[in-house]
Structure 1
Amino acid sequence: MTSAAPGPITFWFDFGSPYAWLASTQVAATARRCGRTVRWRAMLLGVIFGTTGASPLGVQPLRGDYARRDLGRVARRMGLPFATATPPSGTSLALARVFHAIALRDEALAARFAAEAFMATFAEGQALDGLAAAQCFAARLGPTAAAASADALAPAARLALRDATQEALAQGVFGAPFFVVDGEPFWGQDRLPMLEAWLREGPW
């Protein structure tokens, strides 16, 4: 009897989270080293914050200023260009709608869209805060992504985003990036080394 393949690392993210951007550049390599795949899942942190009472990092006194400095520092350490820590309002919703529209047809293509949209937003400073801009960006990935993104406001895509956010809440997700693997939660880009150790060495 063949044993079941190990489960994926579920990568929960919000397109407005700069730390989720940093994680998006690392999570695939982490998964490969551990013999896992990645399940990319876009959610809306604004809805999550309605439950937790938290607020966006960029608007928090002191902590927001620190985060902007820290993000530039971490990006330089990782060899990444860095343009902004606070994308325009509307970025999360526009990109998440397009992501889920693409994911309904091709999850791998949706993951590629997410990775490239993150880089465009935070590394290059592109404004992808409206649906038209997000759809135009998706079209760069080819005809399948372009056709799928046209359905970003269709009931199926809207429901997929809503269901994903509710699934995140049900799994205990309260921030981004957030990872769940084999039922074990890890919060934050800086927890990826611990997640890798957990998988490679065994739970402790």
Structure 2
Amino acid sequence: MNASPAGSLDFYFDFISPYGYFASQQIEALAARHCRTVRWHAFHMRAVTRDVLGMQQALVDVPLKGDYVRHDVRRMARYFGIPYAPAPTAGFSSVNASRVLCLLAERDAAAVAPYVHAVFRSQHAIGESPNTWAQCAALAVEAGADARWLLAPEQEARGRLLFTEATEAAVALGVWGTPSFVVDQEMFWGCDRLPQLDDWLRRGGY
């Protein structure tokens, strides 16, 4: 596993994941406690589960496990004290939201974090799935991005390429689940690992 840049904490997620949403609400404060900055990385979790892990069903469609997850996310939202009123997962494709994020990361870094929060909030707290390119671009503009370049026709193709590359890079690093955190060559998976990540940074690693 390659090392993260000094002073960074890499956060890998798919916008479709409520667990990624819960982690996104906490990761910046955790990073700041250890003088780290968050680098946000969207990747295509469904492609990873299908093409890398060999899973043909979405997690919520797996017998027994799906029922548990649907119950657990509401219990976890209450535990963290995070607003949770999601739109149906089946009606949300995170691809366009992730492609727009990749474009922002390349061209407008200041808008990245506000945009991530806006997308997560829209899907998981407001119940409005940002599916279309126009919907995602509107959230990016609200986050401070310039709509003139983002809505240019060539940007959709550029975003598609960048998101494919981002997913491939995540897999090459060893990321297989959302959310995942990588810091100083150490990877943690799951929002319930945030206390362990916090402790690991406090102790300075091994």
**What is the TM-score when the length of structure 1 is the normalising length?**
0.89
Gaps of 5+ in 2: none
- 2:137/2:151 contact within 8 Å kept: yes
Match of residue 81 from structure 2? 79
d(CA) in 1 for partners of 2:184, 2:147: 34
Match of residue 20 from structure 2? 20
Letter in 2 for 1:13: F
Match of residue 125 from structure 1? 127
Name the SS for the 1:176 alignment partner.
Answer: coil
> How many residues get paired?
199
**What is the TM-score when the length of structure 2 is the normalising length?**
0.88
Query: What CA deviation, in whole Å up to 9, does each residue of 1:158-200 have, x standing for no partner?
Result: 2211111011000111110011100111011111111111111
Query: 162, 165, 170: which is aligned to 1:163?
Result: 165
Q: Identity percentage over the alignment? A: 39
Once superposed, what is the RMSD of the aligned Cα atoms? 1.9
Query: 76, 82, 105: which is aligned to 1:103?
Result: 105
Match of residue 115 from structure 1? 117
Gaps of 5+ in 1: none
- 1:11/1:39 contact within 8 Å kept: yes
d(CA) in 1 for partners of 2:46, 2:146: 26
Match of residue 48 from structure 2? 48
d(CA) in 1 for partners of 2:138, 2:199: 39
d(CA) in 2 for partners of 1:175, 1:148: 32
